A and B are shown apart, each in its own frame.
Chain A
Amino acid sequence: MELQVNGVKRNSKATPDSSLLSVLRDEFDLTGTKYGCGEGQCGACTVLLDGKAVRSCRTPLSATQGKKITTIEGLEVKGKLHPVQEAYLKVDVFQCGYCASGMVMSTVALLNNYPNPTEEQIKDFMNGNICRCGTYPRIVKAINEAAAKV
């Protein structure tokens, strides 16, 4: 199947019912997208499909047809970080960092929806992303920081 990943057309040998996550990680070696649960509950595998956040572990390849897939690797353009990444870096959000890709991708989608999100909108939108290290308040800070710039 043909996929559009980070602006590049790529062919996958996997069957249409395969999860997008496994294709990204194992076939295309885009390992920035993480496995955390495989049940759509943790958000570690979040990528963008036409700008909307989806859990790639629960997204079959067939659902990506004709859509643009953006992964964490696609945010940085020619060595320049996306403003959301900049904001996260500035706030020095993370501990183990395993949730980081998913958090960043969800934030990009959040700001696509609400350029100036309220605290409640942030918490609602981000509630599907788990950070077991408990960095939530720092993430909220980074999101506000990014919103001011995006």
Chain B
Amino acid sequence: MNPKKINSEIIQNGSEIVTGTSQAVGINRRQFFKWLGGGLAVAFVWQDTSILAAAEKEILAFKKLPTEQIGAWLHIAEDNTVTVYTGKVEVGQNIRTSLAQIVAEELLVPISAIKMVMGDTDLVPYDAGTFGSRSTPAMGSQLRKTAIAAREALLEMASQTLKKNKSALKLANGKITAPGSTALSYGQIVKGKQLLQTISDNAPAIAVSQWKIAGTSVPKVNGRDFITGRHKYVSDIKIPGMLYGKILRSPTFGATLAAIDVTAAKAMKGVTVVHEGDFVGVAAPDLSMADKAVAAIKAQWKTTNQPSRAEIFAYLKNKASSGQSGGRNGGTTKGDMKAGLAAADKTLQETYLVDYIAHAPMEPRAALAHWENGKLTVWTGTQRPFGVQSDLAEEFKIPEEKVRVIMPDTGSAYGGKHSGEAAVEAARLAKAAQKTVKLTWTRPEEFTWAYFRPAGVIEVNAGVKKDGTLTAWEFHNYNSGGSGIRTPYEVANQQIQYHPSDSPLKQGSYRGLASTANIFALESQMNDLAQLVNQDPLEFRLKNLQEPRLRAVFQQAAEAFNWGKTKPAKDHGFGIAGGTEKGGFTATCAEVAVDRNTGEVKVIRTTTAFECGAIINPEHLDQQILGAIVQGLGGALFEAIDFENGKILNPTFAQYRVPRFKDTPIVQIIQVNRPDLPSAGAGEAPIVAIAPAIRNAIADATGIKLKKLPLVPNGLLVHLKKS
């Protein structure tokens, strides 16, 4: 393919027009329409202020608006194109489709008429990032309101043009019609105009019951590009004359350079070597040359002792703080723990352990960096384009408007691509080489130098009465985090605390954050408490649970699963677990089969009931739930990062096992639609119940109560022998 063509495809939306404008400083109306080419633009702003009133008078637009004030904008061009600009990014959660659906719905245009410009810091308003399942609830509702404002403005203009009362006008299929007049397309309506409007959060939205496009299963909007291989991920982009980068990695974490000799690498033709402190990398005309150049560097590293996996849990607990509760750390204190334990007929004190795991997105980190006249443009796969923009600005001591970050739809993230390591590395190489540089991490680099879901130690102490009433609940999480730490069950006496610690591995966000760990401990404990008082695990939960939305998913999952019915065979077990996270409510039932001779545990089937308010796209919701279940299966059964003295021991797919076709059970999904409730995101919450459901099913089949994630990295044989 002609490289120039790729280039202009990648610098999507016509970079020629837009290069040099930057949202970071705001832009004025004339500039805005200069690159948009006339028409109607509507910007979503957070609050009505006098500044915004001025903007509406078309004297100035974003110039004086603090950029944080703008959430998204939308433009209707004279050629009928509707373009939506949002800082959210696509990493496989299919928001390119669902957000377009929302706009199509309100503007009454077919979805194909909508163009989504996402995650390009020069073109879209500031956005903190795509995480925390916020895209649907926050960006979805902003875009809905923006689209409504655009629709109203169109009606207003059409009423003037057609000299008809607004109430006589009808919108359908991108056109406005009035009795006795010819239909006007949106493009015709906005022709010759340069109208900029703002809309604030106070505007009302269309009732869910009236949704026509939102709420249906529109297929992935650019789906064809993926099954033909045409979509360009960052690692696929090429720019004429670009070089390939490669970084010299230290042998262990925490190592520093003691001595280095780069002469041989420097002598290679076309190779640039960068050596700044402990950062050493090369840029070469092709990848094999880059590999050779790095191999030719002689480096001596000074290593320091680092904690290993064998001692990690003791280490994390020793280094932990005395505990934080409340606020974003999630903990809480209620009643009197002592009294609660005294009132109990039975108590149960347990410790649960959770290993570090890797996100292992199929597309490893990649970045393409290009410097031109002091301006840096970086294409990279990140969930935080603006965060990476500011990291780069800081790194190179240049203003943010001199940095443009572009995020093409990326090969997934799962909370693992909040950072911009590859972007910074590629930009350093490009700066030194004075050429465009592409850097793609290898799989072992991704496994080693990205970040991990935290490991953790969780201690639970609970008291229960004979009749199944919970009386006391003490819960301490060391290191893994505060998400999902509170119990959804009614307990009069509680002490819940998160204790941050000092993680020897770089740790960060993960799908569902710490709730994958906290709800594992919580729901395992609930299972064993039910057994202590001889109650069915579902009955026991419902007895102590008031939250109606969580009750509903428990009941629906259990019913669809045939909870309580006889098991199909000996050594099969049923388990149930549930929880809430990020506004989603989930319950999962699992059936496992245990082979007592080999110790193999097979997950036969799972049933998950999930509710996240009004459903926007049932098929894509199904995908998100399915994806969470399958990913959760890995963390539940076998995924764990192994490390020793600063070195990752299993940085390959041969060594780090992820779920495959054969591991995947029959996955039944029950979507609970609540059109009366606002839509919440669905990418995270459905992952939280799978591990405890499987764990409880293993306990049901064998009596073995596992306390550690992953549950059976080496099968169940060791445990079977012990019991």
B133 within 8 A of A: no
A49 within 8 A of B: no
What chain A residues lie within 8 Å of B628 (beta carbons)? 134
Give chain B nearest CB distance to A48 CB in angstroms: 13
Contact with A along B512-554 (1 / 0, CB 8 A): 0000000000000000000000000000000000000000000
Number of contacting residues on A, CB 8 A? 56
A139 to B623, CA, bound (A): 12
A31 to B234, CA, bound (A): 11
Give chain B nearest CB distance to A49 CB in angstroms: 17
Give chain B nearest CB distance to A77 CB in angstroms: 12
A95 to B226, CA, bound (A): 10
Interface of B is mostly: loop
A148 within 8 A of B: no
With A39-B654, A127-B661, A134-B630 as given contacts, are A92 and B363 in contact (CB-CB < 8 Å)? no
Give the total number of A-B pairs whose CB atoms are below 8 A apart.
Answer: 173
Q: A123 and B662: CB pair below 8 A?
A: yes
Q: A31 and B223: CB pair below 8 A?
A: no
What chain A residues lie within 8 Å of B654 (beta carbons)? 39, 41
Enumerate B607-632 residues with CB–CB distance to A below 8 Å. 619-620, 623-624, 626-631
What chain B residues lie within 8 Å of A44 (beta carbons)? 362
Give chain B nearest CB distance to A5 CB in angstroms: 13
Q: B91 and A96: CB pair below 8 A?
A: yes
B1 within 8 A of A: yes
Give chain B nearest CB distance to A103 CB in angstroms: 9
Of A72, A123, A136, the contact of B228 (CB 8 Å cutoff): A72
With A31-B236, A98-B363, A127-B662 as given contacts, are A85 and B227 in contact (CB-CB < 8 Å)? yes
Centre residue among A26, A95, A131 by max chain B CB count within 10 A: A95
Q: A135 and B228: CB pair below 8 A?
A: no
Enumerate A100-142 residues with CB–CB distance to B below 8 Å. 100-101, 104, 122-124, 126-140
16 extra interchain contacts, Cβ-Cβ under 8 A, other than A130-B658, A133-B627?
A26-B286, A31-B232, A33-B229, A35-B440, A38-B442, A89-B223, A92-B223, A94-B223, A96-B91, A96-B410, A97-B225, A99-B362, A100-B227, A104-B227, A132-B362, A137-B626
Hey, which bits of chain B sit against chain A, CB under 8 A? 1, 3, 6, 91-94, 217, 219-220, 223-233, 235-236, 238, 244, 286-288, 360-364, 409-412, 414, 440, 442-443, 619-620, 623-624, 626-631, 652-654, 658-662, 664, 666-667
- What are 28 A-B pairs at a CB distance below 8 A? A34-B411, A36-B364, A37-B653, A72-B228, A75-B228, A81-B224, A88-B227, A89-B219, A92-B223, A92-B619, A92-B620, A94-B92, A96-B362, A96-B409, A96-B412, A98-B92, A100-B226, A104-B227, A126-B661, A128-B660, A132-B360, A133-B362, A133-B630, A134-B626, A134-B627, A134-B628, A138-B623, A138-B626
